[in-house]
């Protein structure tokens, strides 16, 4: 596996972001640095980085995946009104086996209405 400036840029953008960006948003951000980067390159590297557990993919209700840095953040609150993602505290210990199934990763998503949207109602 080779190190390319495209791959490094994509990882840097995700690691410096707090907004859980989509592939298209990452692509647009990339184009500020590499004006002719290809959308296919962004998708290929996102899949690669997810497989290598370097970033996290968040499946959204509208089927547009979002991406997040791999920190202590596996638990999200997803507002069904404004689609905002709020990071929640992570578990203290990460499970490695459940009922003889080997666990590599986990995610927990709560869905509802966030504080801001509740106040607007």
List residues binding DNA (CB under 7 A). 1-7, 22-24, 34, 36-41, 43-45, 47, 63-65
In whole angstroms, give the CA distance from residue 92 to residue 85. Answer: 21
What residues have CB less than 8 Å from 103, skipping those under 6 apart? 94, 95, 96, 97
What residues have CB less than 8 Å from 82, skipping those under 6 apart? 114, 116, 117
Q: Residue 31, interface with its own copies (CB under 8 A)?
A: no
Q: Residue 33, interface with its own copies (CB under 8 A)?
A: no
The one among 18, 88, 92, 120 contacting its own copies by CB under 8 A = 88
Q: Residue 90, interface with its own copies (CB under 8 A)?
A: no
The one among 77, 82, 83, 90 contacting its own copies by CB under 8 A = 77
């Amino acid at each position: 596996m080779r190190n390319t400036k495209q791959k490094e840029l994509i990882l840097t953008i995700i690691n410096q972001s707090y907004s859980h960006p989509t592939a298209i948003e990452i692509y647009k951000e990339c184009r500020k640095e590499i004006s002719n980067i290809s959308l296919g390159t962004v998708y290929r590297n996102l899949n690669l980085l997810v497989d290598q557990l370097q970033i996290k993919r968040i499946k959204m209700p509208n089927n547009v995946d979002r991406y997040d840095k791999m920190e202590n953040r596996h638990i999200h609150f997803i507002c069904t009104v404004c689609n905002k993602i709020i990071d929640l505290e992570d578990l203290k210990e990460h499970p490695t086996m459940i009922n003889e199934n080997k666990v590599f990763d986990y995610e927990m998503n709560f869905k509802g209405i966030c504080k801001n949207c509740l106040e607007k109602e």
